[in-house]
Amino acid sequence: MSANPFVNFDLTTLDGRQLSADELAEQTLLFVNVASRCGLTPQYRELVALAAETAEAPFQVIGVPCNQFGAQEPGSAEEILSFCSTTYGVDFPLLTKRDVNGATRSKLYAWLIGSEAGGGDDIQWNFGKFLVHKGSVVKRFSPDVSPQDDGLLSAVADLLDN
C-alpha cells in the first residue's frame, strides 16, 4: 500500500466528483457509513453542525452511504443526494454507495476496520464513525455515539491542535 492510503481507494462522490487523495492525506477526517431510512438518520443534523463548526480547519466529514443494514439506504445516487440536501442540508461529501462488511466490503472500509484503531470488528449498524488524521486511523466510534458527543468533539479538537 502507498504511503498515502487514499490513493488505493475509490473516492468518487455521489455527484461524480473525485476527492483528492493528496488533500485527504493532509486532513483530519470523519468517515461515517450513512443511511436515509434509519433511526439514527437525524445524526445528519449533527454531522452538518460539526462540518460547519470546523469549516475553517483542515477537517472533513465524509459520508459513505451503505444499504447493508435493514436495506435502509435503497435509493439511487440522485435520491440520496436530494434527501440529504433537502432534509438535512448536507453539504459535506457523500461517496458512492458501498458495502462496509462482508466479502464485498470496500477497500476503504477494509482499511478502516483493519487498522489498529478500527479493531478488526465488522460495522455494527449505520452511522459507525472512524476518525482519521493525516492518513492514519486514530479512533472508532460506535453508531450510537453522537457527532456532537463530548468525547468525539474533544478527539477532533485534539487532532486539529496538533
- How far apart CA 2 and CA 14 sit, in angstroms, is 25
HEC readout, 30-48: EEEEECCCCCCCCHHHHHH
pLDDT for 162: 74
Phi and psi torsions of 22, nearest 5°: -65, -40
Q: Per-residue confidence at 79, pLDDT binned at 50, 70, 90?
A: very high
Query: Is position 66 annotated as part of the catalytic site?
Result: no
* Whether residue 1 has pLDDT greater than 50: no
Residue where the block lists cell 443511511: 35
**48's grid cell:** 452538518
The DSSP secondary structure of 124-152, one letter per residue, reads -STT-EEEEETTEEEEEE-TTS-TT-HHH
Q: Per-residue confidence at 12, pLDDT binned at 50, 70, 90?
A: very high
pLDDT averaged over the chain?
96
SS3 104: coil
* Given the residues 11, 30, 35, 38, the one annotated as active site: 38
What is the tens place of the pLDDT at every residue in 30-41?
Answer: 999 999 999 999
Q: Options 3.40.50.720, 3.40.30.10, 3.90.79.10, 3.30.470.10; which CATH number does 5-156 get?
A: 3.40.30.10
